[in-house]
Structure 1
Amino acid sequence: MKKLAIGTSLAVAAAFAMHAQAGVDPLTQIQPPQSEWVYDGSNPDYVVEVPSFTVPATGIIDYIDSVVPLEFGEERWVKAVQFIPGDKRVLHHLLSYVVADTPDAGEGMLDETVNDPRREFLEGYAPGKEYATEFPAGTGIKVPEGSALRMSIHYTSFGQEAVDSTRVGLWFYDKDKEPDLQYHTYSVSTPMNQIAIPPGAMEYESAATHVFDKDIVLHGFRSHMHYRGKQMSARVVYPDNTVEDIINIPDYNFAWQPTYRMSEPMILPAGSRVIVEGLFDNSEYNTGNPDPTVTSIGGLQSWEEMFIGYFSYTDLPQ
């Protein structure tokens, strides 16, 4: 299995142990970020102001579908992006896509389980994603002139009215250093209308699969389930039928949904099949379970369920 660039290193753990033995609280040695924008110490080249929204104290809030024109006046390539939530207590998640800035840019439902060729996934915010996302060297997201950012925003109430004004910071490549490779993300999912987890089920299985029809370089993976999510893994079956593990997330946590970046990208030749497998826990022993006595069906809200594996990749350089 390829190593994934996430987690606390042994060196950091050893340093914490040394400070503890010396009678020093290791938490006092951690310096907070000097700026809310944390990518390379600079402010973004462009900030998208997400329209403010007042989240009521109670009730179910439908997804907000917002389109904001990107008025660069020219084509640009994004090398890094960061989301700063206006209020983390109510922002469940935000998904952003680059689309053409046309009168119909916001028409139709923006379904994250559907890979629509009319839009390019930029990046998303979810619990646990606190820092800027930098795309791998030599890759980026192309934003053609005349584009807009279409966002699917999910708010949840928590007993107190709140106002959210989220910002999206974009850092651009210099004109003379623009990459040749577009960074893509493809969602492999179980359709929501096919999810039905029986009450009390502790290890209910789910799976999804996709065949890539061209050579790609796999750079990262992100898992997404809701409160009943328990475990997720991904593997690839190559055209010669050999199998290789991509990632195993044995203890899925809804509050920790980062994008796992591979330390060694994998080349997947055309015809490679990726398989995402996972488990749901709809029992009373799952302390985050909204209601273990009912069948959990697929849906957009947190007390319903989703099963999605996001594969981030580029084309294979020629």
Structure 2
Amino acid sequence: MEFRPGNPRVVHHAFIAVDPTEESHRTDLKDEGPGFGGMHLPPTGEVPHGQFFSWQPGKVPMGGDPSRAWPLQTNSWLVLQMHLQTTGKPETVQAEVGLYFAPGEGTDITYKVGLSSYALEIPAGATNFVAEDAFELPVDVEVLGILPHAHYLARRMHGLATKPDGTSLWLINIDRWDFNWQGEYWYEQPVALPAGTRVGMRFFYDNSTNNPANPSTPPRATDYGLSSTDEMAELWMIFRLKSEADRMKLNQAVVPVLAADVITYS
């Protein structure tokens, strides 16, 4: 799938989901304007397994792998969620979504896991604020792809996997983060990680006048938020699993983490 924002000055980011029910359509009909407002998709809108299905500034289309192809059921609704930002004048947004078709349904058993830090409270003037998160794998996985995300205060991003025997390997290492050059990365060879591996992220932020990308002059205390002038810390990974049983076990381990994140954010 490919997304073209049409007006990147206005589109901060976008997500695409598939709703096999009529819920998203009914919500749309209740809103008098085009589409419907809100920062959250209806619960019936889901991202297919093994896909990032997002767009951020600087992201370029990536070639699809037929083994990760996903079925688009008859009468499903594609839901495009765009976070728009104001420019002080009327703007036109004509976004486009392109679908690329594979010969058949994908064979990979995949799952997307995200590391994040919602407890961001970056003091004004801080030059090396750190945000961290980690997750221990309950099953063997192969890491296929990775997608980091933050805003203008981020300077460096580290993603590291520490195996049960104590050995570590980099999953991603960005030493000069550029908000306008974002994207997903797919490994040439899958990264095999055994059960018990700790996957972790460590992001570094500069909220001082030394950061030329700082959107606030003078710098101000900055928390987690959806605006470009707020901050985020996210590291998403696509795992390939050996069986459906492993996917269920991984899901059971992820759900409590997501619930804790929701409590922290709220």
Match of 2:76 in 1: 147
Structure 1 position 246, deviation (Å): 1.3
Match of 2:116 in 1: 189
Separation (CA, whole Å) in 1 of partners of 2:175 and 2:238: 20
1:151 maps to a residue whose letter is L
Structure 1 position 159, deviation (Å): 3.2
Structure 1 position 304, deviation (Å): 0.4
- Compare CA radii of gyration and give the structure with the larger one: 1
Match of 1:281 in 2: 206
- Matches for 1:1-318 after TM superposition, within 5 Å: 81-103=1-23, 110=40, 119-120=46-47, 122=51, 123-130=53-60, 132-175=61-104, 178-191=105-118, 194-291=119-216, 292-316=218-242
1:210 maps to a residue whose letter is F
**Quick check: 1:135–1:183 contact (8 Å CA) kept in 2?**
no
Say which structure is richer in helix.
Answer: 2
1:200 maps to a residue whose letter is G
1:12-41 residue CA offsets vs partner (Å, 9 max, x unmatched): xxxxxxxxxxxxxxxxxxxxxxxxxxxxxx
1:302 maps to a residue whose letter is S
Separation (CA, whole Å) in 2 of partners of 1:297 and 1:156: 18
Count of equivalent residues = 229
2:57 maps to a residue whose letter is P
1:179 maps to a residue whose letter is G
Say which structure is richer in strand.
Answer: 1
Separation (CA, whole Å) in 2 of partners of 1:262 and 1:164: 33
SS of the counterpart of 2:70? strand
Separation (CA, whole Å) in 2 of partners of 1:270 and 1:99: 33
Separation (CA, whole Å) in 2 of partners of 1:216 and 1:305: 30
1:308 maps to a residue whose letter is E
Structure 1 position 312, deviation (Å): 1.8
SS of the counterpart of 1:159? coil
Gaps of 5+ in 2: 28-35, 245-266
**Quick check: 1:199–1:283 contact (8 Å CA) kept in 2?**
yes
Structure 1 position 281, deviation (Å): 0.7
Separation (CA, whole Å) in 1 of partners of 2:196 and 2:45: 24
Q: Under a length normalisation based on structure 1, what TM-score does the superposition of the two structures give? A: 0.65
Structure 1 position 182, deviation (Å): 4.5
SS of the counterpart of 2:183? coil
**Quick check: 1:141–1:182 contact (8 Å CA) kept in 2?**
no
Aligned residues with identical type, % of pairs: 27
Structure 1 position 117, deviation (Å): 10
Structure 1 pair 92–142 and aligned structure 2 pair: CA distance change class (3 A):
same
Q: What is the CA RMSD across the aligned residues, in angstroms?
A: 2.5
**Quick check: 2:142–2:239 contact (8 Å CA) kept in 1?**
yes
**Quick check: 1:140–1:182 contact (8 Å CA) kept in 2?**
no
Gaps of 5+ in 1: 1-80
Q: Under a length normalisation based on structure 2, what TM-score does the superposition of the two structures give? A: 0.77
Separation (CA, whole Å) in 2 of partners of 1:145 and 1:213: 35
Structure 1 pair 272–135 and aligned structure 2 pair: CA distance change class (3 A):
farther
Separation (CA, whole Å) in 2 of partners of 1:285 and 1:298: 21
Separation (CA, whole Å) in 2 of partners of 1:246 and 1:134: 20
Bigger shift: residues 143-152 or 200-209: 143-152
Moved over 4 A (4+): 104-109
